[in-house]
Structure 1
Amino acid sequence: MSGIDWLILLLTLGFIVGYGVWKTRAVTTAHEYIKGDEKTPWWAIGLSVMATQASAITFLSTPGQAYFSGMGFVQFYFGLPLAIVIICLIFIPLYKKLKVYTAYEYLESRFDKKTRVLTAVLFLIQRGLATGITIYAPSIVLSVVLGWPLVWLNICVGVLVIIYTVSGGTKAVTVTQKQQMAVIFAGMFAAFFIIYTSLPNDMNLYKAFCLAKANDKINLINTSFDLKNRYTIWTGLIGGTFLMLSYFGTDQSQVQRYLSSKSIRESQLGLLFNALLKVPMQFFILFVGVMVFVFYQFNTAPLSFNPQAEKAVMDSSQAAAYVTLKNEKESLELAKQKIYKSYHNYDDNEGLADQLQALNFKLQKNKEASITLIDMVAPEVESNDKDYVFIHFILHHLPKGLIGLLLAVILSAAMSSTASELNALATTTVVDLYQPNVSQPKKGTQLMNLTKLTTLIWGIIAIAVACIAPLFDNLIQLVNIIGSIFYGNILGIFLIAFFFKKITSNAVFIGALLTQFIVMGVYFSDILPFLWLNLLGCVLVILLAAILSNFKKK
């Protein structure tokens, strides 16, 4: 990285942290620290909700997901608008009417203390794990850039977030997320522009789209009923709706964002604002990944986007075999380029796709062989390079200055989501676990200081999780898998509270425990794709609680 890149990166991050601390220096009450004094306008809520969900994983993993698998991942978000409408009509009015600090407070008034505590604990487990991943993701970026050990980078990123989150609580999270979203939008649009202008002179946007389609990258809709397919329109509309209902309706990291609003209407407008922008934003980020794929159809791409993996295998006894695979890949790519030259506009997608099919199949086998080779000689190095695609493009093909801006985008996203999560974890721990179970609950400044201390503790835990977190198939999938294992159960508990007034508290408590064990068993047995776990958990806890409640009455 050049000096100008370092300057842009450090100034951007320094401004965000400094602004967050300075803007919230006057926070003196627990109410203001936890709920932002309920003065946040709707547009700030919308940006805060979006920034909380759009972690660094979104900007690292999503382009890589599109590069290798196309845009089918966008179907994951198809259930979001429907879920937001339901939350606006049912969840928000109830939360604001009860004047709760957390979503789980309501469960004690409807059921009992143990059900409230169980639900809060389920949230703390899944969100604590996910927060560690959101710290780990940007550490990968800096590891590639600086060559520093991941452990130290996890600590640096985590400490950076802890500083202003501990300082100003919910208010600090909200005021900094506006700047972070501005950096994110500016950086991604700049990246798209640079990619487009770097394509061959005769390549317009329509031709790029047709070329990507011929390579099966514009696979927006999959109507298959095959449960082995992770991303179909059905998993998005059904499983995705239940996941989004639970995430935006019961996850404290999101609930706390709109509980800081002036009124019910402000909360509703903020969430609807997010619903209108989120799917287009994800579509755009995926399309950036597709454009990176188009770029590498005319420029040399590495066999592995992870430089550590490539270095490990080139330093081993299998270097010659790896070079052979690289040469084979280059020959296949040259063959593809000859096919591209035979088409003037790429309008004949079917004819072009037919010619590319055999070559793409060989390229896939070539990729699999390289992964096998890396795993054989260096099993400790990550051979799956989806999360390295976008950062490789940034470092090797963007002009000076823009590299620093894009790294600031990724780190800003990490800071925004991690800050929201630490804020929510601390609030839930204090409000739902500590306060109801002590003889003399904290009040005023004591409560605020306790929440600050708990935020610090959760920050340390998140850093520890980040330090032991291995790369999964894809980071963005890992976060959603963790959520899907717990979210359906949590959502089911809330739906029982809202709509099934005759089901007893003990039945819900036992049903929730049984459901959690069953869902985890189904996931580890690989019976269902992870998105369907949201529906399974929700339906299962309702059925078990209803059966147990009816059995007790008889």
Structure 2
Amino acid sequence: MTALDYVVLAAYLTGTLSVGLYFARRNKTTTDMFTAGGGSPWWVTGLSSFMTMFSAGTFVIWGSIAYTHGIVAVAINMTYGIAALAAGFLVAGKWNALGVRTPAEYVELRFGRSALQLYTWTLIVFRIVTTAVALYALAVIVAAIMPLAESSPFRDATTGNISIVALIIVFGLVAVFYTLVGGLWAVLMTDVLQFIILNLSVLFIIVLTFLKIDDFGGLLASAPDGFFDLVSGGYTYFFLVGWCLSQFFMIGAEWAFVQRSLSVSSPVDARKANYLFGALYLVSPVLWLAPPLMFRLTHPGVDPEQAYILAGQWVLPAGAVGLMVAAMFSATASMISSQLNVFASVLTNDVYREFFNPSAKERTLVVAGRTFTGLLGLILVVLAIAVPQLGGAERVIISLSSLVAGPLMAPSIWGLLGRRIDGRAVWATALICLGLGVVVKFGLGYLNAVTGFLWLDDVHSWVSNNPQTADMLLGVVLPIIILSTAHSVSAGVAPGWERIGSCAESVLPTRQKSLKPIDTTPALVVAIALLICGSTLLLLIPFNQSAALPLGILGAIVIGIGFTTHFFIRRSAGEFHSRLSGQRNL
């Protein structure tokens, strides 16, 4: 990275912090802090949901699969889009119509307090650890391309680059700060900005890669066998279907995504947000996986996990590498901020207020929410720093989290759509799936050695050779079988179904049917961000004469989109005021 790259990265981080400070003034209540007062525009929520799926691991894992196996990586990621569309059609509107403050409140109403404890502490442990590992992965990736002078106090003497610990602290504290100060509004708006940065950097890499390739047809002909197949490398059609179902459970019931559905003003907006999320994921994988796909054709034989970063370094001019690093940070920061905000919400509303201070005023609860955000963020940063010392424990937790996600999320959706199951079905699903998962993933070899049963050796061999299929059976098929059985043997309506019905009915009178003022601030922030990004690309031209044409064209397009966005903001606001005046005259 050059000095110009550092300037671009520093400017981005400063802008992110500024957004958090700007939206701090909106956090007067816990509703503002944790659900954006129910006033988030549907398109902001949709873009935020899209970004919540990303992390630095996205570039490493999916970039590696794309580089190694080809188009199958695109096919797998498109299942996110199908899952998001299905979640929008089936559950997003129902979440918004419930009238609950948090997803944890729904769990308690529907399944009881014991289920709430199971969900809360299990998800907090697994999500904080997996997010910490993602932050560590981001620092490892970025540190590899950030050399520092010997005099720098942040230099790692072994590598000559910036210290991984220093990067974890800087990146972690930035994400924690804007989440703590700005609440969900800051999370949503920084996600939108991060969406812009991510796609801008990816488009730039694609354009410059195409310009650098002379014989594109010849490169396509040299692709490995099966590189353009929809399934390959152990990723079968059964895996794709199972992955789609597992992501439907995740998008439909993961607390960070449920929180997005609660942040908009109506069930219709909740569905529209998910439809936008899904539509983007049906298109975007082709774009952001194009760099490692093309890099495989031009540079076969490199480390697959480094494919994405190497593809960027190969074509990006000075200053644009900093933009790529900002994009990688933005992907992970979205994941961090989402988890911190949703779990701080649960700890504030469903633990602190429920058990320790039932009569707490909103001001006290906001302070508690910020305190929990800071504490969770501190734990996350410390865990990220400690990842190398965990001795593989973090890999075990991440492996287990894949087994927990389906068995916990599937009952939430089932309980939202069906009236029969109760808390016993939740516990049965979680314990059976987790127990069998631990045995299958970690105990088969030991049991085979102890008992000597030949059939155990066959099962162990099959699981080792088909890990993706085994995960789908344990995390998707088995929960559905258990819940179907529980639904069949249950008679009548579960008490929890009646409780959530009463909760939904109680909020109906409070939903205003009149026209509400249009909040133009989110769109204005987007317009300003586009103008700044476009101007930055133009300012990079004097330092990159060889890339002047693509920089100029892309910069002009981005600036044009920014001005167009600003124009429509003013026109929409004017049309609303005209309609409102007409309504008053009547």
Residue 210 of structure 1 pairs with residue 151 of structure 2: no
Q: Percent identity?
A: 22
Q: TM-score, normalised by structure 2?
A: 0.71
Corresponding residue number in structure 2 for 1:368? none
- Structure 2 vs 1, CA of residues 78 and 401 (structure 1 numbering), >3 Å: closer, same or farther? closer
C-alpha separation between the residues in 2 aligned to 1:479 and 1:197? 44
Shift of 1:257: 1.9
Q: Read off the aligned partner of 1:429 and give its amino acid letter.
A: L
The one-letter amino acid of 2:480's match is V
Amino acid at match of 1:542: L
2:51·2:191 contact (CA, 8 Å) conserved in 1? yes
Matched with 1:493 is: 411
For the pair 1:235 / 2:226, whether they are aligned, the reply is no
Residue in 1 that maps onto 2:556: none
1:434 CA displacement: 3.5
Q: What code does the residue aligned with 1:30 have? A: T
Name the CA shift for 1:180/1:48 in 2 (closer, same or farther; >3 Å). same
Partners of 2:435 and 2:169 in 1: CA distance: 33
Query: In 2, Cα distance between the equivalents of 1:3 and 1:160?
Result: 21
1:209 partner letter:
L
- Which ranges of structure 1 fall in alignment gaps of 5 or more residues? 223-228, 303-384
| Cα deviation 1:410-464 (Å, max 9, x = unaligned) | 1121212211121122222333343333363534011111111111111122223
Instruction: Give 1:378's aligned residue.
Output: none
RMSD of the TM alignment (CA)?
Answer: 2.9
Q: Secondary structure at the match of 1:104?
A: helix
User: What are the equivalent positions in structure 2 for 1:530-545 lying under 5 Å apart?
Assistant: 530-539=471-480, 541-542=482-483, 545=486
Structure 2: distance between partners of 1:112 and 1:232: 39
Structure with more relative contact order (C-alpha pairs < 8 Å, separation 6 or more): 1
For each residue in 1:193-216, what CA deviation from the matched residue of structure 2 results, as whole angstroms up to 9, or x when unmatched? 1222222x3x13x4433333x454
Contact kept? 1:77, 1:236, Cα under 8 Å: no
The aligned counterpart of 2:549 is none
Residues 519 and 537 in structure 1, CA contact (< 8 A), matched pair in contact too: no
> Which residue identity lines up with residue 347 of structure 2 in the other structure?
T
Match of 2:520 in 1: none
Amino acid at match of 1:88: G
Conserved in 2, the CA contact under 8 Å of 1:51 and 1:177?
yes
Aligned amino acid, residue 232 of structure 1: T
**Aligned positions of 1:116-515 closer than 5 A:** 116-146=116-146, 147-199=161-213, 201=214, 203-204=215-216, 206-212=217-223, 214-222=224-232, 230-237=234-241, 239-296=242-299, 385-395=303-313, 397-438=315-356, 440=358, 442-469=360-387, 481=399, 483-515=401-433
Are the structure 2 counterparts of residues 523 and 537 from structure 1 closer, same or farther at C-alpha, using a change threshold of 3 Å? Answer: farther
Whichever residue aligns with residue 93 of structure 2, its letter is P
**Residue 39 of structure 2 aligns with which residue?**
39
| Alpha-carbon distance in 2 for matches of 1:514, 1:531 | 15
**Structure 1 residues 152 and 3: CA distance shift in structure 2, 3 A:** closer
Once the two structures are superposed, residues 129-170 of structure 1 have per-residue CA deviations (whole angstroms, 9 ceiling, x without a partner) of: 221122112201232123233233222211111110000111
Decide whether the 8 Å contact of 1:173 with 1:416 is kept in 2.
Answer: yes
Q: Which amino acid is 1:220 matched to?
A: L
Distance in 1 (CA, whole Å) between partners of 2:474 and 2:180 is 34
How far did residue 537 of structure 1 move?
A: 4.7
What is the rounded CA distance, in whole Å, between the counterparts of 2:250 and 2:339 in structure 1? Answer: 12
Q: CA 1:220–1:468 in 2, change beyond 3 Å: closer, same or farther?
A: farther
| 2:239 aligned partner, one-letter code | T
Q: CA deviation at 1:70?
A: 1.9
What whole-Å deviation, never above 9, does each CA across 1:185-243 have from its counterpart, x for those lacking one? 110010111222222x3x13x4433333x454223235xxxxxx642222112x22222
Compared CA separation, residues 22 and 400, structure 1 to 2 (3 A)? same
Equivalenced residue count is: 451
Q: In the TM superposition, what is the alpha-carbon distance from 1:84 to its structure 2 partner?
A: 2.8
Q: Kindly tell me: are residues 119 and 507 of structure 1, through their superposed partners in 2, closer, same or farther at Cα, counting changes over 3 Å? A: same
Deviation at 1:262, TM superposition (A): 1.8
> Would the aligned equivalents of 1:76 and 1:240 in 2 still touch at CA under 8 Å?
yes
Aligned equivalents of 2:265, 2:485: Cα separation in 1: 39
Kindly indicate whether the alpha-carbon contact (under 8 Å) linking 2:91 and 2:413 is maintained by their aligned counterparts in 1. no
For 1:380, the equivalent position in structure 2 comes to none
Question: Segments of 4+ in structure 1 off by > 6 A?
Answer: 477-480, 547-550
- Looking at structure 1, the residues matched to 430 and 439 of structure 2 have their Cα atoms a distance apart, in angstroms, of 14
Cα deviation for residue 91 of structure 1 reads 2.0
Question: Counterpart of 2:144 in structure 1: which amino acid?
Answer: V
Shift of 1:269: 0.8
Do 2:133 and 2:387's aligned partners in 1 also have CA atoms closer than 8 Å? Answer: yes
2:72 aligned partner, one-letter code: G
Query: Cα distance 1:95–1:388, how it changes in 2: closer, same or farther (>3 A)?
Result: same
Give the distance between the partners of 1:509 and 1:549, measured in 2 at CA. Answer: 15
Distance in 1, matches of 2:35 and 2:278, equals 22
Rounded to whole Å, the distance in 1 between the matches of 2:299 and 2:65 is 15
Partner of 2:17: 17
Q: 1:141 to 1:111 in 2, by over 3 A?
A: closer
